[in-house]
Every structure is written in structure tokens, then in C-alpha cells.
Chains A and B, each alone.
Chain A
Amino acid sequence: MKKFITNISLFVIFVILVYWSLIIIWGNYMPPSFNQNLNYRIGSYGHMYSRINELKKTKDVDILFLGSSHAYRGFDTRIFKNSGYRSFNLGSSGQTPIQTNILLERYLDTLNPKLIIYEVFPSTFSSDGVESSVDLIANDKIDFKTFRMAIELNNVKTYNTLLYGYYRQLFDKDKGFEEGVLKGDDRYVPGGFVEQKLVYNNAAAAKAEMIDWTPKPYQIKAFENILKLIKEKQIELILVQSPVTRIAFKKYKNNKNIDAYFSKKAEYYNFNYLVNMNDILNFYDENHLNQEGVKVFKEGVRDALYFFTFEVLCIIRVCNILCISIAVTAASAQVFGRSTLLVRQEHVRGGACV
């Protein structure tokens, strides 16, 4: 028995070493088609590498955007800059709450935002989070939190990519890597936004299968952690659902439940109801806005969030003129005749302190 246990223990150590060595060999020398469960793509789709690099030099922003590609393709940081707000878009491809949680734990203190706009695409809550995890492993630093994420996801692709990524980090193999601003139809815009060449959605008529929104428990747990972290830091939070094509939106049988769930958690806007989009002209596929769509969305966001963001920024940054700003807000609402939907009671919560 003793011999068996000793041999098994030695064998386990041996397997770990051989496995890691083979992962390195496979990652370095095998073509991607042979690496089914190893997906280390530095500078991959979505410009995460550029975003993280820029993030390291960024401090104290007004608005931080989080979420999936809907976020980094939907919230154009230039628009907010023009309005006088410093913003950063930390969205990434297929970003699920597990990755959002890690990014916040890593960078929230440095970015120190006054407001977080978190794009809560329901699919990301039902996703296993593997593709987004390998994106994060390849394009951001690997630390204890990354290992924790891998254990939470418990997927062989994440483990393999992590082993390979850790080797590259350990031996500084990605030193000198530079990601181009232009990549295919995408152009990286400082601040984390990715602009896409104008393409129209050809698949607008595709019929979608009806599904129920069934979030994964570990994604919900990560989401709760995110809410707790943001609350602890006393940062204002807005949850938004970016518009998708009507067909893509209607495929969820329980959209009302989704809205009810998010409404309970924070200020929440579902832009599928709030902006009027054309399935062909405003999208480049069933889930993503094209640049025309971004413009329409921008208007919607501005309209919907104007009072809220204005108020929040006033509270935080210009406390002494809070009352004036609230008054201005209320006055402008009357002047411009905003809809009651957008100027809901809670939007002017600050009024209570007047």
C-alpha cells in the first residue's frame, strides 16, 4: 500500500511537470488548429491588450464602463469626453460577471470612478465564461485572482491557457508585443472604445430559438460580489442592457423576469425599450450595434442618463453646489419636457437633501 501511495504521489508530480512541458511545446510550436483546449491569443479580438495597457496609465475617471462587447462597442468614450467627463471603457469580449469582478478588484482603486455603467447582457450570465477567461489570461497579468477564476470556472481550456500564460509571464515572453490600433474592421479608440467600420446586419431575418434566461449560479455569485464591492466603495452604479436586434431580444421568453431581477439590484435601464433601432441599419450582427447604431444609442443613453449622471457627478465633485445643480436639473426637465419615464422620482434622489 505504501509503495502504491508513494508511486501515485510521484506519478502525480511527474504528470504535472510533463503536462506543463507539453503545454509549452504545443503552445509554442503547434498550429492553432491543433490546440483545441489551449487558446492563448495575446492581442486578440476586442483589443483587450491595448485596453489593459492604457488602463495601467489611467487614473481617477468619472465614468467607468463594464460589460461584454456590447459595452466596448456601445459606449463611445469620445462622446463623454466631449461632454467634459473622463471615462474609461473596460468592456471585453464575452465578459461575464466572473471576469468583471476580477477586473474591478484589480483596477477599481486606481480608476476611482464616480459612476459605473455596467452593461448586463443576459447571455453573459448564462455563459460558462471560458472564452472571456482566456482573453483575460492572455491580455492581462496573471495573479492569484486569475488562479481563483480558473478554479471557479473549472474548465480544462482555462486551466491549459493559464498554465501556458503563466509560463509566458514567468519568462517574459510577451515583452515587446504591440497591438495595432487597426485590426480588420475594428479601430481602437483611446479610452477603451472599439469603433467598427460601417457594416449592415445581413442576418436580421434569422429566426431565433426561444430560450429561458437561466443564469449560472457562479455568475450570479460573482455579480453579487460586484454589487457589494461597488457599494462598499460608495460608487454610483447604473445597470444597462444595450439594444440588440428585435429577434435577438425576443428570443428570451422571460425578459420581464430579467428586467425585474436587475431593477432590484440597482438603477437599471433596458435600452431595448428606450431606443428605436432598425434591425438592419443599426446593427452589424444580431447582437452588436454598428457605428450608426452607436450614434442612435448614444442619444438614448444621453437622454436616459443625463439627469442621473449629472446629479451623481454634482454630488460627488461639487457638493457645495449640489442644490443648485438639482434645481437646474429639475428646471431643464421642465423646459425640455422630458418624459416622465426618464425623470423618475429616484433620479432626483439628491433632492431630498435640499
Chain B
Amino acid sequence: MLFTSTEFLIFLPIVFLLYWFVFQKNLKLQNYFILAISYLFYGWWDWRCLFLVIFCSGINYLAGLKLASDKNIKSRKLVLSLSCVFSIGLLGVFKYFNFFVDNFISAFASIGIHLQARTLNIVLPVGISFYTLKALGYTIDVYKGKLEATKDMIAFFSFVGFFPQLLAGPIDRATTLLPQFYVKRTFEYHNAVEGMRQILWGFLKKIMIADKCAIYVNEIFANHETLPAGTLVLGAIYFAFQIYADFSGYSDIAIGTSRLFGFTSMQNFNVPYFSRDIAEFWRRWHISLTTWFRDYLYIPLGGNRGTKFHVVRNTFIIFLICGFWHGANWTFIMWGLINALYFLPLLLLGKNRKNTDTVAHGRILPNIKELFQMGTTFALAVFAWIFFRADSIGQAFSYIGHIFSKSLLSAPKGSGAAHILPLLLIMILLEWFQREELFATAKIGYTWPKPVRWSCYAFIIFLIGMYMQTTETPFIYFQF
């Protein structure tokens, strides 16, 4: 079920009312209900893939129990390894199998050996990259002793399959989200209202920004060989905003929905395009994923400790895996590699934690230096996004090649600038003035009289209804 579908708009109020009026009596009922509606939500798309969610939950649940009861270091390591093999194995089979087979055949073909192998017609189960990391994170935490293994199967299965986060995160940690399934949720008016406001902002970003940008991005990338460089630059910039508005919009809807059910979820985006360097960008972009990789991969590999060689190696490993996590295509690996190259100088010079506060803290406008830094970081991010968006490495290089052509200084043509730029400007301004809040509209209008506030919300809903695309556009991160 898509958040932007009519089914979800009907599903949400029904389950909300049932949750708070019928199943609020005790904790068990609440968890049973959460589990049932989560599986219904997921099964709506394809019930067969539900078995993978159950399998992944089951493996990690059993691993947790075994780790809790076993004190032997060797067997604990074995349990953890098995859990990793099964969880990552799911990803390997369903997401990367064809990629590896194809590349294996190509590699042999390049040295004159022609192999024949069949790729499988595998459907990529939506959300598999998210729930496997979530479940695996739990097992690793139990292994490390950061978390006690749960015996409550329903709570654990509900945690893994929690419907607002099931399809595209945030990848909340077991240490923070799982305990919320152990205590009975009570309704809080303020929390629910905030959740609604965040959902509305998420819808606005997805429908008014991401879907609008998508039209022009698709057109520009498909016809990049015939378009002037100015248009191609705009196309790349639009994609930067499309992917941000799409994914952060999804995260806002997911977090807001979680709040409606009494759960607190982690912030997934924190105005990443106001970053002053790439290190800051990565602290603000897809936070739940980057921190997951940091805690469960980068730090165990040694992090910034050890020799320069180790630091460089770890940085490349983390970025390449992060890129590959996004999809079975060389374009994503290249995107990861470029970001590693951006990040490395900062790390080696010890400047990767230079900008940990919010830009222009306590001031309305940034200074010239900050503006330049933000502009440079954004330009670097946009350049890397070209690889992320392109269908192949070849297309990405062709796109970049056409940007650096004679028409570089020409005016963009047919880029939809008149339709999109005002919307982007509004979003950027809102985010700038609320950059220290959880989401851009967190404080706007909160103290206004109710009729004015409601009129603003109604106007936003009207704008969505009047200008949304009439064909459903899935969230980009569903494919990951």
C-alpha cells in the first residue's frame, strides 16, 4: 500500500480508530493489532513476499533468544554469523543475484570464456533492504550486550514489521523502538496533532515537489543528448530535489504516522542541502541508514582508528557498500565511490567533524563563507546524483559530457523552470527558517488562531488536490 494511495487514506483512519478505541485496553492487544495491520499493509502489495518479512523476523528472534541463553563465545559468534548469513542472504538472493550472475558472465566473456547461465525472474520485495537491516541490527545489539533479547515474539515481529517504517524506513534501532512495544501506548493529543502536521508536510513534499520534478527529470535524462547544457544542469538539480523531497517526504509521513500510534521514531533527514561540507551532508542525509552503517560496519572495521591505510580502506568500504545497498547497479557503486572521494580529504585532514552545529545558528541569514560552503557542497552532491539517477555508467558520463559542452552557458529550454522553481524556493525558504526543528512546518503557525491555522492546512490540501500528478508515482526508495 502506498502512502499516497486512496487505500491508505481509508486504511489509516480505520486502523487509528480501532487501535485507540478497541485495542487500547491492554498492551498485548495493541501489539497483536499492530502486527496484523502491518502485515495487511504489506500484503496489500504482494502477500507472498510477506513470508520473507516473517522469515527474517523469525531468524533474528531465534538468534536473539539463543544469544541470550548461550555464554559460550564461539557458539555466540556462530549464532551471530548464521543470523547475518540468513539476513544478508535474503538480500543477496532477492536483490543482487541477477547482478552477480550478469557480471560474472560479462567478466568471463571479456577474457574469451563464454558462459551460459540463467538469471532468475525475481521480484524485488519492497522494503527488504530496510527490514533486514532493522532485524539484523537487533541481533548485533543483543550479541554486543547493548540490548536484552526479547522473549515477546509479538513485540519483536511488530517491531520488524511496523507498517509505517516497513517499506522505506526510517531504520529505527531496536534499542530505541523495541522497548516502545513493551509498554502500553497512551494517546497524547499534542503528539497526534504534531504527527498530522508532519504527515501533511510529507505529502506536500512528495506530491508538490518530488512528483513535479520527476516529470522534467525523466524527460531531461531521457533526451539529454539533444538538450543544451543549461537544461542538463537544471535536470541534475531537479533530481537532487526530487530524491530529497521524495524520500524525506516519505520519512515525514512514516514518522508522523508512527506518532499517531504513540511511537517515537528517529529523524531521518535534517536539512541536508544546508550542509557546509560533505561530512555534514552525510550526517544529515538518510540518518537512520548512515548511522546504521557507522555503528554496525564502520566502527567494527576500526573506524578512524589505526593507520591511514585502515582509515582510507574503511571509508571506501562503507561508502561502496552504502552505494551498493541502494541497488544492484554499477551506477550506485560509482555514486558511493564519488562520495568516498569527497569525504576522504576531510577525514584525513581531521575536518570531518568541523561543522556539527546548524548553519547560521542564531542568525537569520548565512554569511558569505557559509553560503559559498553550502553552494559547493550542494554542487558536489548534485554531481554525484547524476550517477545515482542514470540508467548506466555510460549514460552518466554521456550526461556529464553534454553538460561540459559548447552549450554550457546557454539558457535552459523546456525545463519546466517556471513551474518548479517557485515551488522549490518555497520549500527551501520554509526549511531554512525551520532548520533547527524536526520538520519544516513544526513551528509555523502553531500559535496562530485556530481558524487561520486550519485555513492554511486546508489551503495546502487544496494545492495538493489542484496540482498533484493524477497518475500514481511510487516512492523512489521503494526500489531499494
Interface residues of A (CB under 8 A from B): 1, 3-5, 8, 11, 14-15, 18-19, 22-23, 26, 35-38, 128, 130, 154-157, 159-160
Q: List 18 A-B contacts (CB under 8 A).
A: A1-B189, A3-B189, A5-B17, A11-B457, A18-B455, A18-B458, A18-B459, A18-B462, A19-B461, A19-B462, A19-B465, A22-B466, A23-B462, A36-B467, A37-B465, A38-B466, A159-B465, A160-B465
For residue A27, give the distance in angstroms from its CB to the closest CB of chain B.
10
Find residues 188-218 in chain B having any chain A CB closer than 8 Å to their own CB: 189, 192-193, 196
Q: Are A160 and B6 in contact (CB under 8 A)?
A: no
Q: From A5, which residue of chain B is reached at the shortest CB distance?
A: B17
Besides A37-B466, A37-B467, 9 new A-B residue pairs in contact (Cβ under 8 A), listed by A number: A1-B189, A14-B454, A18-B455, A19-B465, A22-B459, A22-B466, A23-B466, A156-B470, A160-B466
Find residues 63-82 in chain B having any chain A CB closer than 8 Å to their own CB: none
Interface residues of B (CB under 8 A from A): 6, 17, 20-21, 187, 189, 192-193, 196, 454-455, 457-459, 461-462, 465-468, 470-471
Given contacts A14-B454, A14-B458, A15-B461, whether A26 and B466 have CB atoms under 8 Å apart is yes
Q: Are B467 and A19 in contact (CB under 8 A)?
A: no
Give the docked Cα–Cα distance between A1 and B459 (Å): 26
For residue B265, give the distance in angstroms from its CB to the closest CB of chain A.
20
Given contacts A4-B187, A4-B189, whether A130 and B470 have CB atoms under 8 Å apart is yes
Q: Are B462 and A22 in contact (CB under 8 A)?
A: yes
Residues of A within 8 A of B458 (CB): 14-15, 18-19, 22
Q: Are A156 and B468 in contact (CB under 8 A)?
A: yes
Q: From A35, which residue of chain B is reached at the shortest CB distance?
A: B466
Give the docked Cα–Cα distance between A94 and B109 (Å): 51
Give the docked Cα–Cα distance between A122 and B189 (Å): 52
Q: From A130, which residue of chain B is reached at the shortest CB distance?
A: B470
Q: Are B20 and A1 in contact (CB under 8 A)?
A: yes
Of the residues B20, B457, B461, B468, contact of A37 by C-beta under 8 Å:
B468
Residues of A within 8 A of B6 (CB): 154
Q: Are B193 and A4 in contact (CB under 8 A)?
A: yes
Give the docked Cα–Cα distance between A38 and B463 (Å): 12
For residue A75, give the distance in angstroms from its CB to the closest CB of chain B.
31
For residue B320, give the distance in angstroms from its CB to the closest CB of chain A.
37
Of the residues A1, A155, A157, contact of B187 by C-beta under 8 Å:
A1
Residues of A within 8 A of B462 (CB): 18-19, 22-23
Q: From A26, which residue of chain B is reached at the shortest CB distance?
A: B466
Q: From B461, which residue of chain A is reached at the shortest CB distance?
A: A15
Give the docked Cα–Cα distance between A157 and B465 (Å): 8
Residues of A within 8 A of B192 (CB): 4
Q: Are B470 and A157 in contact (CB under 8 A)?
A: yes
Q: From A157, which residue of chain B is reached at the shortest CB distance?
A: B470
For residue B208, give the distance in angstroms from its CB to the closest CB of chain A.
11
For residue B466, give the distance in angstroms from its CB to the closest CB of chain A.
5
Give the docked Cα–Cα distance between A5 and B465 (Å): 24
